[in-house]
Amino acid sequence: MTTPRVLAIVLAGGEGKRLMPLTADRAKPAVPFGGIYRLVDFVLSNLANGQFLKIVVLTQYKNHSLDRHISRTWRLSAMLGNYVTPVPAQQRLGPQWFAGSADALFQNLNLIYDEMPEHVIVFGADHIYRMDPRQMVEQHVESGTDVTVAAIRQPLTMADQFGVIEADPAGRRIVAFREKPIDAVGLPDAPDQIYASMGNYVFRTQPLIDALREDALDPASRHDIGGNIIPMMVKSGGAEVYDFADNVVPGSTERDRGYWRDVGTLDAYYDAHLDLISAHPVFNLYNDRWPIYTGHDPLPPAKFVHNEGERVGRALDSLVSPGVIVSGGTAVSSILSPRVVLHSHSLVEESVLMDSVSVGRGAMIRRAIIDKNVIIPDGARIGYDLDHDRSRFAVTRHGVVVIPKNEVVER
């Protein structure tokens, strides 16, 4: 089969209000994850590993750090016609920002016209997962359908939390696309499950262009791909579902196969980090047959110093990034990002510490997310008295303390 011409568009314009304060100064896809990565690195790695190497990333809110990360990290061979290009909102059609994901595509139709691909991949930028997109594109091309929507199986009891895809008895053609229904019907082969949309789509180019133009003329539309474009294509009979359970990523294990997490809330973001650190992690960062790519500063290896009585530098069940110095402190079940320093007798448990956090002598931190450049003073306690923590920081519904970047914490 001839390789089809494909353009990949990554939607990275999300404001990420539910991730505040982590998104106070950065776009949601630029939020750090797993010590050395950004959220956007996961979708870009999936596309690059799948050899889809013409990629535009549509940005909008607080896009400086995201644009800088993409420009510095994701440099492909221009000689071979490959690229990952951040495209900020340009107000090409008038003085307005993107009104929704469909409007973001409509305002950037010139990017599609420039490449004139046969098919357009449209993926979101803020999920943690591995996926081989070639398999989804192959199904889409073979079917000849206008759009293929990736779906992950979820319990029927959770249907009111997702955009739900209802398929015909054969399980492929979409007959309905409903937002958070309370009366969803189970799948033909699994009555206790539903298809939840992953926000990943593959379109035939001309039907996509036609749908975007029609949607742009509708004053009642929310100009949303899931809410407007997909139902339009379902109505015309041109939509199929791709079951994520069928996707086989090279190097995956039975334990991490099919892993997908929406990290749209602080608790979900925190829980996804804990998925990384067990001996046999639910999401395995160490699959070198399908690597997650990112950029690295020229930092030295992590260092653990002092071994005197109770003054021992150590990390247990943790991810430790380059440039970290554990100087007589202890990290347990935690993620330490580059340049983090733990001073003597400090203790960090079940926490996510971002770039250049300094934890003072004797300080104790439990169940916290601490953004970059935060200074924790000697003897401070974080996560031990949530009422006191709420008076100065954000505390999630599940009791995770979140400290914004550049904060100088008082004891």
Which amino acids are annotated as binding site for alpha-D-glucose 1-phosphate, given as ranges? 163, 179-180, 197
Known binding site: residues?
163, 179-180, 197
**Strand spans (E) along 79-205:** 83-88, 119-124, 127-129, 147-155, 163-167, 174-179, 193-204
Least Cα distance to 357 among 389, 392, 404 occurs for 404
CA 112 to each of CA 88, 119, 208, 285: distance values in angstroms, whole numbers, following the listed order = 16, 10, 10, 33
Give the span between the Cα atoms of 216 and 221, in whole angstroms: 8
Residues 133 and 47: beta-carbon distance below 8 Å: yes
Dist CA 119 CA 340 (whole Å): 44
The residue assigned the tokens 């989804």 is 136
Compute and round to an integer the Cα radius of gyration of the chain: 22
Q: Are 120 and 7 in contact (CB under 8 A)?
A: yes
Q: d(Cα 47, Cα 56) in Å, to the nearest integer?
A: 11
Name residue, tokens 């733990």.
342
Half-sphere exposure of 93 (CA within 13 A, CB side): 13
Rounded to whole angstroms, the Cα distance separating 346 from 306 reads 13
In the three-class reduction of DSSP (H, G, I as helix; E, B as strand; rest coil), residue 166 is classed as strand
